[in-house]
């Protein structure tokens, strides 16, 4: 794109919207491109910051008509950085961050540029008795989290984030504004609008960047069983992983929906060694109920003799603030992979693979964290959501991290992570779209399973010319290069499969 073309597009967009249009060097341009993963550094020609849904429609219709490449950034937590591009316009929704509570206080409307921290603060300041099924990391954007399913610490009690959606506002690639809501599934007349029904279903679990752009999400709030649920951390030395994981694998299946027990494998400061870091296996219980009941449920795990036990009662936002930042990349370089495991699959073989690869880790900052799923997530079927892994029990996320100032360390850390999760993948059923991975083979099946063909039809209806796209967009013919050494890392440095 020439300077003359860039300046023309900027002038035209500035005349069409109430929001801001920025070029390199303008105040706010670089800030709009900052995302959690410091590995990704893509700079577009233009950043457009709409102030309303109508602004979004104007930007999208203009760029679509001219064929200008466009990607959308909401919270900036994209694992692969697909919200950015180096060839066109980044639509930064950050100025669209209004939060509105319904009159009865049980529902909330959130603009798509909002991060969870603002929602939590909003409800706290109002002293609301309700909570939202939001991200455990408060810096994550509401939109990307919800569009990809969305695991909350209390999803075993109330379902995924997308299961708590009441409605959305959507802008098509042609700039048409459409409101979709749950009446599409219940009202006899509206159910006949099958295009809208299929779109709304697809927006609940297919991940961001597909079909069009969501500008507002309406969510149902929930009231926890007690005002201050029980949360904590129970830590074992990593060398006991075979014994502890074997127990955990069976024990979690006996727990009620109100109890989730997350897990983590990483280096933590160890008071036994003067605060020096050592590799540990840490469980994070979250119980939506009374403290005494939580203690009773956790007794079998604590009977195994952990190094450290911490249990607290606090509100969910307080807990998310307490632990949520521990998994953020915070500008370091990272390569992220995921796997979804069925019940009873965290076997001795899985433990041995984890021991082998953590024993060969190249960075003390790399870690695995997993979500304990199941529970009420399974109660929400496929009629109203396309989320494909409701039968899973554990969702693993691997973050291979290294210092952004040492780019030479990238290849070895990435290849370690690829080998690690390729080995674990033989025991898993797929992967989680919100931890999207450009090097994942057969990603269509891994993320979407038997939902994929149906989602391609939705893409064909709303984004037929594929103007909105990225290399792992639904309907793309991209597949990852073979996992042979040296790995082809080029998919990690681009958004689009081919230059537009």
Give 15's pLDDT tier (boundaries 50, 70, 90).
very high
Report the distance separating Cα 92 and Cα 72, nearest Å.
Answer: 6
How confident is the model over 351-410, as pLDDT tens digits?
Answer: 999 999 999 999 999 999 999 999 999 999 899 999 999 999 999 999 999 988 888 899
| Residue spans per domain, the chain | 3-95, 99-220, 230-444
How confident is the model over 410-419, as pLDDT tens digits?
Answer: 999 999 999 9
As a whole number, mean pLDDT of residues 329-357 equals 94
CA 493 vs CA 115, 403, 408: distances in Å: 26, 17, 15
- For residue 271, the model assigns a pLDDT of 75
Q: In the Cβ-directed half-sphere of 46, how many Cα atoms lie within 13 Å?
A: 27
Q: Count the Cβ atoms, other than its own, within 10 Å of residue 45.
A: 22
Report the distance separating Cα 284 and Cα 102, nearest Å.
Answer: 33
Give 47's pLDDT tier (boundaries 50, 70, 90).
very high
Report the distance separating Cα 46 and Cα 91, nearest Å.
Answer: 9
Report the distance separating Cα 317 and Cα 315, nearest Å.
Answer: 6
Please give the CATH number for the structural domain made up of 99-220. 3.30.465.10
Give 324's pLDDT tier (boundaries 50, 70, 90).
low
Instruction: Return the closest-CA partner of residue 352 out of 485, 246, 236.
Output: 246
Please give the CATH number for the structural domain made up of 3-95. 3.30.43.10
216 touches 280 (CB < 8 A): no
pLDDT above 80 for 330 = no
- Percentage, residues of the chain above pLDDT 70: 98
As a whole number, mean pLDDT of residues 6-21 equals 97
- For residue 75, the model assigns a pLDDT of 87
Where do the H-state alpha helices sit in 252-383?
291-302, 316-323, 348-358
Please give the CATH number for the structural domain made up of 230-444. 3.40.462.20
pLDDT above 80 for 4 = yes
Q: What does pLDDT average to over the chain?
A: 95
Instruction: Return the closest-CA partner of residue 112 out of 208, 220, 204.
Output: 208
- For residue 406, the model assigns a pLDDT of 86
As a whole number, mean pLDDT of residues 342-357 equals 98
- For residue 269, the model assigns a pLDDT of 81
Give 208's pLDDT tier (boundaries 50, 70, 90).
very high
As a whole number, mean pLDDT of residues 463-489 equals 96
- For residue 106, the model assigns a pLDDT of 98
Report the distance separating Cα 70 and Cα 46, nearest Å.
Answer: 10
Give 421's pLDDT tier (boundaries 50, 70, 90).
very high
- Percentage, residues of the chain above pLDDT 90: 89
Question: Residue 147 phi/psi, 5° resolution?
Answer: -65, -30
Give 326's pLDDT tier (boundaries 50, 70, 90).
low
- For residue 139, the model assigns a pLDDT of 86
pLDDT above 50 for 165 = yes
- For residue 500, the model assigns a pLDDT of 41
How confident is the model over 231-280, as pLDDT tens digits?
Answer: 999 999 999 999 999 999 999 999 999 999 999 999 988 777 777 889 99
Q: Which residue has the higher pLDDT, 75 or 8?
A: 8
168 touches 200 (CB < 8 A): yes
pLDDT above 50 for 450 = yes
How confident is the model over 72-98, as pLDDT tens digits?
Answer: 999 888 889 999 999 999 999 999 999
- CA 404, distance to chain mean position in Å, is 22
Give 325's pLDDT tier (boundaries 50, 70, 90).
low
Which residue shows structure tokens 């692969």? Answer: 80
pLDDT above 60 for 499 = no
Q: Which residue has the higher pLDDT, 500 or 313?
A: 313
Out of 118-122, 294-298, 402-406, 491-495, which region has the weakest mean confidence (pLDDT)? 402-406
């Amino acid at each position: 794109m020439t300077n003359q073309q860039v300046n023309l597009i900027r002038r035209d967009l500035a005349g069409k919207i109430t929001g801001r249009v920025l070029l390199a060097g303008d105040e706010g341009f670089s800030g709009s491109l900052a995302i959690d993963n410091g590995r990704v550094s893509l700079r577009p020609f233009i950043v457009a910051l709409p102030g309303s849904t109508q602004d979004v429609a104007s930007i999208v219709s203009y760029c679509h008509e001219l064929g200008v490449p466009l990607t959308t950034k909401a919270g900036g937590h994209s694992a692969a950085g697909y919200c950015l591009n180096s060839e066109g316009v980044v639509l930064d929704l950050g100025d669209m961050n209004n939060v509105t509570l319904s009159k009865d206080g049980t529902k909330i409307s959130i603009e798509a540029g909002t991060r969870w921290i603002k929602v939590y603060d909003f409800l706290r300041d109002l002293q609301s008795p309700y909570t939202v099924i939001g991200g455990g990391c408060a810096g994550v954007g509401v939109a990307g989290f919800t569009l990809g399913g969305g695991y909350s610490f209390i999803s075993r009690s109330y379902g995924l984030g997308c299961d708590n959606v009441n409605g959305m506002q959507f802008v098509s690639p042609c700039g048409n504004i459409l409101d979709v809501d749950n009446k599409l599934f219940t009202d006899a007349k509206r159910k006949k609008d099958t295009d809208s029904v299929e779109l709304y279903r697809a927006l609940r679990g297919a991940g961001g960047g597909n079909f069009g752009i969501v500008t507002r999400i309406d969510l149902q709030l929930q009231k926890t069983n007690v005002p201050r649920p029980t949360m904590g951390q129970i830590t074992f030395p990593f060398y006991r992983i075979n014994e502890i994981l074997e127990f955990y694998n069976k024990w979690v299946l006996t727990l009620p929906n109100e109890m989730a027990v997350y897990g983590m494998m990483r280096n933590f400061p160890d008071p036994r060694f003067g605060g020096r870091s050592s590799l540990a296996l840490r469980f994070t219980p979250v119980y939506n109920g009374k403290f005494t009941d939580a203690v009773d449920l956790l007794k079998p795990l604590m009977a195994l003799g952990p190094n450290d036990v911490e249990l607290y009662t606090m509100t969910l936002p307080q807990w998310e603030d307490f632990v949520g930042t521990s998994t953020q990349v915070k500008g370091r370089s990272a390569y992220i992979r995921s796997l979804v495991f069925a019940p009873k699959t965290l076997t001795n073989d899985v433990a041995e693979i984890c021991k082998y690869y953590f024993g060969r880790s190249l960075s003390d900052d790399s870690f695995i964290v997993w979500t304990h799923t199941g529970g009420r997530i399974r109660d929400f079927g496929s009629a109203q959501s396309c989320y494909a892994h409701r039968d899973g029990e554990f969702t693993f996320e691997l973050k291979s991290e290294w210092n952004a100032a040492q780019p030479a360390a990238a290849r070895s850390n990435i290849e370690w992570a690829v080998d690690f999760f390729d080995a674990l993948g033989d025991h898993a059923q797929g992967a989680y779209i919100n931890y999207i991975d450009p090097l994942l083979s057969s990603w269509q099946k891994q993320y979407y399973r038997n939902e994929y063909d149906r989602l391609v039809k939705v893409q064909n209806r709303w984004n037929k010319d594929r103007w909105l796209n990225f290399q792992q967009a639904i309907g793309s013919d991209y597949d990852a290069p073979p996992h042979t050494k040296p790995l082809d890392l080029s998919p990690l440095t681009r958004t689009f499969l081919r230059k537009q």
